[in-house]
């Protein structure tokens, strides 16, 4: 026998327990949901591991038992789950692995009213400290000959001991605080309180939740019939899988509770989708769209997937094959009777049924999201903030659903300073002669609004999509077109905006400018020879003196900046510097050049015209020192 060991809780755990112990949160009953949920998970896990690991002793009669000892004010929960060994107890119960716990604790501390947050935050096991002054846990893992005893009063430490436990699984003994119903602490030694709490939160649990309670039976017949009271163990939950029940029979709260159990999320879901496919391939599904994206959703290591049941048996905990990768944020359950019970991962990947299910679910989810977008735009916008990148991934990769997924994308635009737009809405506002959908990417709305590139578009009353997420540019390139309209960057290549008459006029003007001031261009090019490809006059600028323009398929300067910050190599490509011949600075510069083509100031002005254009474009100046030097030289001279 090893001696009793005393451990200190990890700092965050201690804070969490402190909050629980002193909690004035009025929904203290949720502790029971948490403990039952853990027990159910543990039974699932034992079944599961037992399929492949022969050292796991299996159990055919699974249950979760609740016992009440009124005299001792003690509530005991026993399960037939996987149990834990000594190391697992120390890591699982002594520390909090959940991501984001620190942040939530900070919030709780600063909120002043921690009570509200407790209800939202799935505090799991520790929530039992809201109702218990001491917790004892006896547990034995299904591949271990001995058990472990864990005891804590929540005062910063816990003890771990060996325990001679005859059965596999976990027993949690709560020494309850005195009941104080008026202050939100009901008496959990009262069978009625326990039973109604189980019904409220845990009815769908797939294993019987047993408790001894008073039952009344009629004995005798006719005149002699009388009601007799006896104490019997009863099952408190209906155990009916929630996804097979008729939608009209299930309350919203029940759907939400099941979601929390399934996902370990602490918030209600954003949307519940209960979908039954009938016909050639039959299956039932209960899907959830969470409110928030997990922090690691966009990591390659993230594992999504739905629970797959075949004929009421859980076959796979995370069947990723049931959804395309970009929908990995969707949680839920699928049950089908058309699959063999012994289906393996390999078969799953090729199975025709599974492919059909995936297709059906994808179409259903996209149509639900479309309805959300059309009917509840604000809610959809919240969803988009969290999961927008996943939709973009879908629009770029799922050719079959490209049009529908592209239709769900939201963009900032010149049309409205606050509200985002869909592509469809953009098209509905297009000018009659407008052929393309224009976009420009940049760091912020402000840069884009003041960009020289958008001047001529705005002059024509054309709307511009403002791509503030740099990757949107890649997404639009991948999508290629929407509803027959091509996407066109305002900063690349030629914008075919003018009508024939205007074009003629513009060409004429440019010819004149070339004739009158052409040599200036050569001089500027000479001073910028390692920085630009070409210097030429343009007719598209209105108030700006210059802009830099890339080729049709170049990445924008903004995206280039983001990519190189992320360590990606973008091959350097020189751009064209375009000069507004009608701008005052151009005219004065030409006069200077005309007087003395070798004037030293020309080099400084070349840097300023170029630097201004790059900065206005949201790009990064490669040689800031050179630009600054030129700026100071010109400014100093300007003072006389
Ligand atoms: P969560 O359930 O979200 O992981 P909890 O605080 O509820 O967080 O539980 C922490 C961990 O303790 C669980 O993940 C599990 O590994 C372990 N655990 C809790 N209760 C049991 C139990 N009855 N049987 C086996 N393991 C359990
Ligand atoms: Mg839990």
- Residue whose tokens read 């007799």: 228
Six-digit token string for 485 = 């309209």
Closest ligand relative to 81 C-alpha: 1
Does the CB atom of residue 81 touch ligand 1 within 6 A? yes
Predicted local confidence at residue 127, as pLDDT = 87
Give me the residues paired with residue 230 across strands: 215
Centre of ligand 2 from the C-alpha of residue 125, in Å: 6
List the shell of residues around ion ligand 2, using CB closer than 5 Å.
38, 124
Side-by-side strand order, sheet with 575-579: 532-537, 575-579, 546-549
Mean pLDDT of 105-112: 66
Closest ligand relative to 94 C-alpha: 1
Per DSSP bridges, beta strands 532-537 and 575-579 are parallel
Q: Which atom of ligand 1 is nearest to the CA of 97?
A: 4
Average of per-residue pLDDT values in the chain: 88
Closest ligand relative to 82 C-alpha: 1
The answer to whether 288 and 262 have CB atoms below 8 angstroms apart is yes
Tell me: pLDDT of 121 over 70: no
Tell me: pLDDT of 605 over 60: yes
Does the CB atom of residue 10 touch ligand 1 within 6 A? no
Predicted local confidence at residue 116, as pLDDT = 57
Q: What is the pLDDT of residues 263-279, one digit of tens each?
A: 988 889 999 999 999 88
Centre of ligand 1 from the C-alpha of residue 43, in Å: 11
Predicted local confidence at residue 322, as pLDDT = 95
Predicted local confidence at residue 99, as pLDDT = 57
Predicted local confidence at residue 280, as pLDDT = 84
User: How would DSSP label each residue in 19-72?
Assistant: HHHT---S-TTHHHHHHHHHHHHHHHHHHHHHHH-TTS---SS--EEEEEETTT
Between CA 436 and CA 497 the distance in angstroms is 10
Q: How confident is the model at residue 340 (pLDDT cuts 50, 70, 90)?
A: confident
Q: How confident is the model at residue 491 (pLDDT cuts 50, 70, 90)?
A: confident
Tell me: pLDDT of 497 over 70: no
Between CA 535 and CA 522 the distance in angstroms is 7
**Residue 430's closest CA among 483, 507, 506?**
483
Q: Which atom of ligand 1 is nearest to the CA of 81?
A: 24
Six-digit token string for 533 = 């490809």
Q: Taking each helix axis from N to C terminus, what angle separates 500-527 and 601-616, rounded to the nearest 10 degrees?
A: 130
Mean pLDDT of 295-317: 86
Higher-confidence residue of 224 and 306: namely 306
Q: What is the pLDDT of residues 40-59, one digit of tens each?
A: 999 989 988 888 899 999 99
Six-digit token string for 398 = 């799922």
Between CA 490 and CA 437 the distance in angstroms is 10
Predicted local confidence at residue 492, as pLDDT = 72
Predicted local confidence at residue 114, as pLDDT = 58
Ligand 1 pocket test target in 41, 56, 95, 148 with most atoms within 8 Å of CB: 41
Global pTM? 0.73
Q: How far is CA 69 from CA 65, 153, 175, 189, in A?
A: 13, 19, 10, 7
Q: How confident is the model at residue 606 (pLDDT cuts 50, 70, 90)?
A: very high
Helix (H, G, I), strand (E, B) or coil at 169: strand
Does the CB atom of residue 556 touch ligand 1 within 6 A? no
Mean pLDDT of 114-121: 58
**Residue 422's closest CA among 469, 473, 459, 381?**
381
Between CA 354 and CA 357 the distance in angstroms is 5
- Of all residues in the chain, what percent are helix, strand and coil, respectively (each to 5)? 45, 20, 35
Predicted local confidence at residue 281, as pLDDT = 86
Q: What is the pLDDT of residues 539-565, one digit of tens each?
A: 888 888 999 887 766 777 777 777 777
Set out the domains of the chain in order of their start, with CATH numbers.
5-235 (3.30.565.10), 242-391 (3.30.230.80), 409-489 (3.40.50.11260), 500-639 (1.20.120.790)
Which residue has the least CA distance to atom 11 on ligand 1? 92
Six-digit token string for 121 = 């935050």
Tell me: pLDDT of 119 over 80: no
Q: How far is CA 323 from CA 265, 361, 370, 422, in A?
A: 20, 7, 18, 25
Rg (CA), the chain: 34
Does the CB atom of residue 15 touch ligand 1 within 6 A? no
Which residue has the least CA distance to atom 12 on ligand 1? 92
The answer to whether 189 and 75 have CB atoms below 8 angstroms apart is yes
Does the CB atom of residue 357 touch ligand 1 within 6 A? no
């Amino acid at each position: 026998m090893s001696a009793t060991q005393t451990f200190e809780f990890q700092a965050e755990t201690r804070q969490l327990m402190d909050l629980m112990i002193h909690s004035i949160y009025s929904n203290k009953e949720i502790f029971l949901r948490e403990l039952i949920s853990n027990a159910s998970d543990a039974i699932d896990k034992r079944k599961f591991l037992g399929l492949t690991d022969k050292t796991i002793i299996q159990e055919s009669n699974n249950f979760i038992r609740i016992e009440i000892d009124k005299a001792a004010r003690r509530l005991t929960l026993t399960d037939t789950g996987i149990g834990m060994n000594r190391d697992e107890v120390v890591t699982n119960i002594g520390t909090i692995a959940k991501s984001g716990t620190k942040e939530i604790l900070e919030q709780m501390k600063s909120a002043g009213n921690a009570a509200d947050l407790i209800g939202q935050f799935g505090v799991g096991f520790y929530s039992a400290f809201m109702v218990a002054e001491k917790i004892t846990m006896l547990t034995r893992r299904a591949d271990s000959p001995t058990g472990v005893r864990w005891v804590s009063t929540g005062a910063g430490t816990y003890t771990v001991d060996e325990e001679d436990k005859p059965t596999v699984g976990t027993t949690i003994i709560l020494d309850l605080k005195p009941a104080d119903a008026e202050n939100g602490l009901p008496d959990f030694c009262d069978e009625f309180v326990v039973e109604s709490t189980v019904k409220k939160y845990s009815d769908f649990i797939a294993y019987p939740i047993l408790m001894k309670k008073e039952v009344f039976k009629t004995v005798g017949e006719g005149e002699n019939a009388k009601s007799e009271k006896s104490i019997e163990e009863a099952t408190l939950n209906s155990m009916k899988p929630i996804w097979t029940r008729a939608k009209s029979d299930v309350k919203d709260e029940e759907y939400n509770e099941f979601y929390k159990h399934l996902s370990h999320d602490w918030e209600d879901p954003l949307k519940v989708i209960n979908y039954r496919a009938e016909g050639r391939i039959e299956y039932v599904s209960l899907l959830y769209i969470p409110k928030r994206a997990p922090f690691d959703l966009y990591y390659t290591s993230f594992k999504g997937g739905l629970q797959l049941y075949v004929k009421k048996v859980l076959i796979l905990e995370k069947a990723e094959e049931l959804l395309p990768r970009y929908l990995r944020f969707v949680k839920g359950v699928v049950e089908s009777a058309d699959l063999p019970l012994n289906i393996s991962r390999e078969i799953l990947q090729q199975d025709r049924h599974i492919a059909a299910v995936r297709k059906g679910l994808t179409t259903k989810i996209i149509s639900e999201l479309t309805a959300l977008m059309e009917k509840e735009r604000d809610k959809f916008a919240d969803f988009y903030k969290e999961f927008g990148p996943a939709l973009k991934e879908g629009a770029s990769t799922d050719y079959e659903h490209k049009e529908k997924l592209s239709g769900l994308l939201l963009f900032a635009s010149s049309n409205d300073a606050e509200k985002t737009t869909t592509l469809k809405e953009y098209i509905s506002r297009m000018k009659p002669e407008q052929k393309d959908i224009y976009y420009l990417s940049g760091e912020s709305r402000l840069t884009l609004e003041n960009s020289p590139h958008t001047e001529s578009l705005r002059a024509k009353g054309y709307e511009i999509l403002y791509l503030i997420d740099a990757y949107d540019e890649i997404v639009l390139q991948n999508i290629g077109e929407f509803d027959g309209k091509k996407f066109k960057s305002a900063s690349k290549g030629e914008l075919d905006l003018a009508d024939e008459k205007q074009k003629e006029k513009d060409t004429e003007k440019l010819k004149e400018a070339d004739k009158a001031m052409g040599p200036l261009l050569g001089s500027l090019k000479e001073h910028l020879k390692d920085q630009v490809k070409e210097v030429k006059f343009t007719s598209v600028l209105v108030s700006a003196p210059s802009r830099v323009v890339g080729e049709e398929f170049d990445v924008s300067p903004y995206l280039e900046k983001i990519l190189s910050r992320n360590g990606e190599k973008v091959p350097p490509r020189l751009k064209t510097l375009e000069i507004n011949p009608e701008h005052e600075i151009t005219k004065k510069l030409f006069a200077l050049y005309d007087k003395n083509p070798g004037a030293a100031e020309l080099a400084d002005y070349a840097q300023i015209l170029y630097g201004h254009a790059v900065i206005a474009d949201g790009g990064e100046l490669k040689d800031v020192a050179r630009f600054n030097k030129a700026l100071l030289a010109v400014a100093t001279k300007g003072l006389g």
